[in-house]
Amino acid sequence: MSTEDRSLNFIEQIIEDDLAKGFAQDKLRFRFPPEPNGYLHVGHASSICLNFGLGLKYNAPVNLRFDDTNPAKEEQEYVDAIKRDVEWLGYKWDKELYASDYFQELYDWAVVFIKKGVAYVDSQGSDEIARQKGTPTHPGTASPYRDRSVEENLELFEKMRAGEFPNGAHILRAKIDMASSNMLMRDPIMYRILHEKHHRTDNNWCIYPMYDWAHGESDYLEQVSHSLCTLEFLMHRELYDWFLDQIYDETKTRPKQREFARRNLSHTVVSKRKLLQLVQEKHVTGWDDPRMSTISGMRRRGYTPAAIRNFADTIGIAKRTNLVDVSVLEFCVREDLNKIAPRVMAVLDPVKLIITNYPEGQEEWLEAENNPEDESAGFREIPFSRELYIEREDFMENANSKYFRLTLGKEVRLKNAYIIKGESVVKDSEGNITEIHATYDTDSKSGSGSEASLRKIKGTIHWVSVPHAVKAEVRIYDRLFTHENPDGDKDVDFKSYINPNSLEVITGYLEPSLKSAVDGEHYQFQRLGYFCVDRDTNAEKIVFNKTVGLRDTWAKIESKE
């Protein structure tokens, strides 16, 4: 669905209203402002699609701004991963910017605040300050340092910056209103001392600005017109505006903060902090483990940028937080892969099928369509021989009349090949079937147009020729959490819901065209699902990840429960 096909979301409505009131369209400017303290996840994907989608819709620049004001948690690795993910989603930022680029300007403004008497250095400890905060119904108590002279404040603030004090000795606070009904307005912190090396500014700074102070001013410096954030910042808007009031120059664009609901996805967690725990405690193999809700995990799983963009557009932008079922995302993935993924044959739980009337040593290359959804995808050749693998599940010795796969005495079609009839089985001493013997109708070759090939046969099964089969490691994933909302109960550790069976590794047998498959390629293993080549593939082994099944099997399981 493109934005043209649906009604405006409430953010677009706000922009339309601003334009109608005379805001110039060429002044529209957006940003996506990640903190580089982890990898981006599916929730961020929604925010990226929203901001960059607005950029495309209004032909406006969108900045990628790293909100790097907390040196303790931020790293270059995360910056690189974020850039890779935004690009992979298909978006181009106008400028790559860093809140840390504005440290000097922010500092200079803070000095202006002190001179205007709207900021002061508080020398109390954090416990004391917390005690004085009051409650939403009781006003706070003023700090004994609130009325320090401008000179003393300036001197202390300079010394803070010069590194003369240890962490926690002083903070710079905005002087607003200790009785405000909005607790965030009760003299919020602007700077804290942190003797910590920053991934970009190194040891140049030992005081760092707080989010509320840095964010709006960064928006202003970049002349962002609409600063979109998630709902937990609703109460921060008053502070955002207060800071701007102190520095705003009427000739410039005044940024507007507007909030939308965080997007949460079922059966997973969307919080960098929690995803980091999964990585550090080795519940997954890394940030890009295909079970992770990270963008890099989804990419490795085989989800496509188009599917994720379409998902973001489908769930839209909301004013209330809700849990989106992961099946909606999987639907979008299937829909895109159905269009683009070449069809191939692979057998994942093999049993041998011998075509007893097919000459030993003979092979034949049959034509197979690559993608019935895409004519331009063309055809390929697949080898047929006397010994084939089929799925164990596709054979039943004693089947009833509703079973349309292979059984004894009945016919079934081998996809792209011949019609065969089950004749007998060979079993081991424990009664397990080790071989199925069948005969084929020599005139029934698919696509030959012969009368025999056109016979109506109820079932078609897939197969792979044994001597030509390519072995592969196939990783089958299930949901990482058994609970729909593992994060939903504050008293329960989300990790207690980890699904112990979220990964199964098996050996699959693939048609030989997949011998040269390369990292990132998507395929539909016919009748089984969508799979992609994993980056662990090398000259020795091919590794496939199961992206998603052909149908939503969970819906069935859950409706039975």
* Interacting residues with Mg ion (CB under 5 A): 35
Burial of 355 (0-12, 13-18, 19+ CB in 10 A): buried
Q: Which stretch binds ligand ATP (CB under 6 A): 4-12, 192-200, 256-264, 356-364?
A: 256-264
Least distance from Mg ion to the Cβ atom of residue 194, Å: 17
> Which residue in the set 9, 11, 28, 46 belongs to the binding site for ligand ATP (CB under 6 A)?
46
Alpha-carbon separation of residue 45 from 29, 264, 333 (angstroms): 19, 11, 14
Q: Which stretch binds ligand ATP (CB under 6 A): 30-38, 286-294, 387-395, 434-442?
A: 30-38
The answer to whether residues 436 and 406 touch, using CB atoms and an 8 Å cutoff, is yes
Tokens 């664009």, located at residue: 253
> Which residue in the set 15, 29, 44, 198 belongs to the binding site for ligand ATP (CB under 6 A)?
44
Partner whose footprint covers residue 413, from Mg ion, ligand ATP, none (CB < 5 to 8 Å by kind): none
> Which residues ranging from 224 to 243 are in contact with ligand ATP (CB under 6 A)?
229-230
Cβ closer to Mg ion: 158 or 232?
Answer: 232
Active-site residue list: 35, 262, 272
Partner whose footprint covers residue 371, from Mg ion, ligand ATP, none (CB < 5 to 8 Å by kind): none
What are phi and psi for residue 280, nearest 5 degrees? -65, -35
Least distance from ligand ATP to the Cβ atom of residue 217, Å: 16
Q: Measure the CA–CA gap between 392 and 351, rounded to whole angstroms.
A: 5
Q: Is 480 in the site for ligand ATP (CB under 6 A)?
A: no
> Of 195, 121, 112, 194, nearest to 155 (Cα)?
121
Cβ closer to ligand ATP: 208 or 418?
Answer: 208
H/E element, 554: helix 553-560
Cβ closer to ligand ATP: 153 or 264?
Answer: 264
Indicate the residue whose CB is closest to Mg ion. Answer: 35
DSSP state of 499: -
The answer to whether residues 22 and 15 touch, using CB atoms and an 8 Å cutoff, is no
Q: Which stretch binds ligand ATP (CB under 6 A): 32-40, 101-109, 166-174, 336-344?
A: 32-40
Q: Which stretch binds ligand ATP (CB under 6 A): 10-18, 112-120, 260-268, 527-535?
A: 260-268
> Which residue in the set 262, 267, 301, 334 belongs to the binding site for ligand ATP (CB under 6 A)?
262
> Which residue in the set 29, 43, 176, 208 belongs to the binding site for ligand ATP (CB under 6 A)?
43
Q: Which stretch binds ligand ATP (CB under 6 A): 21-29, 164-172, 257-265, 278-286?
A: 257-265
Least distance from ligand ATP to the Cβ atom of residue 176, Å: 24
Total Cβ atoms within 10 A of residue 549: 14
> Which residues ranging from 271 to 310 are in contact with ligand ATP (CB under 6 A)?
271-272
Q: Where are the alpha helices (DSSP H) in 208-352?
A: 211-222, 237-247, 272-280, 295-301, 305-315, 326-340
Least distance from Mg ion to the Cβ atom of residue 35, Å: 5
Any bridge partners for residue 524, and if so which? 343, 530
Nearest 10 degrees: CA dihedral of 158, 159, 160, 163?
Answer: 120
Collect all residues with Cβ–Cβ distance below 8 Å to 159 and sequence separation of at least 6: 165
Least distance from ligand ATP to the Cβ atom of residue 38, Å: 6
Q: Measure the CA–CA gap between 390 and 400, rounded to whole angstroms.
A: 20
Tokens 């093999």, located at residue: 350
Least distance from ligand ATP to the Cβ atom of residue 267, Å: 15
* Token pair for 107: 């500092």
Any bridge partners for residue 530, and if so which? 524, 548
Partner whose footprint covers residue 46, from Mg ion, ligand ATP, none (CB < 5 to 8 Å by kind): ligand ATP
Q: Is 444 in the site for ligand ATP (CB under 6 A)?
A: no
Q: Is 385 in the site for ligand ATP (CB under 6 A)?
A: no
DSSP state of 304: -
Pairing of strands 543-548, 470-477: parallel
Partner whose footprint covers residue 198, from Mg ion, ligand ATP, none (CB < 5 to 8 Å by kind): none
Cβ closer to Mg ion: 35 or 381?
Answer: 35
The answer to whether residues 532 and 519 touch, using CB atoms and an 8 Å cutoff, is no
Least distance from Mg ion to the Cβ atom of residue 458, Å: 56
Q: Where are the alpha helices (DSSP H) in 372-434?
A: none
Q: Measure the CA–CA gap between 126 and 357, rounded to whole angstroms.
A: 86
Indicate the residue whose CB is closest to ligand ATP. Answer: 43
The answer to whether residues 114 and 168 touch, using CB atoms and an 8 Å cutoff, is no
DSSP-based three-state secondary structure for 300: helix
> Which residue in the set 11, 39, 47, 517 belongs to the binding site for ligand ATP (CB under 6 A)?
47
Cβ closer to Mg ion: 12 or 67?
Answer: 67
Q: Is 270 in the site for ligand ATP (CB under 6 A)?
A: yes
Least distance from Mg ion to the Cβ atom of residue 176, Å: 23
Ramachandran bin of 286, using left for φ above 0, alpha for ψ from -120 to 50, beta for the remaining angles: left
Least distance from Mg ion to the Cβ atom of residue 266, Å: 22
Tokens 């009031």, located at residue: 245
> Which residues ranging from 532 to 551 are in contact with ligand ATP (CB under 6 A)?
none
Chain positions contacting ligand ATP, by CB under 6 A: 33-35, 43-44, 46-47, 67, 229-230, 262-264, 270-272
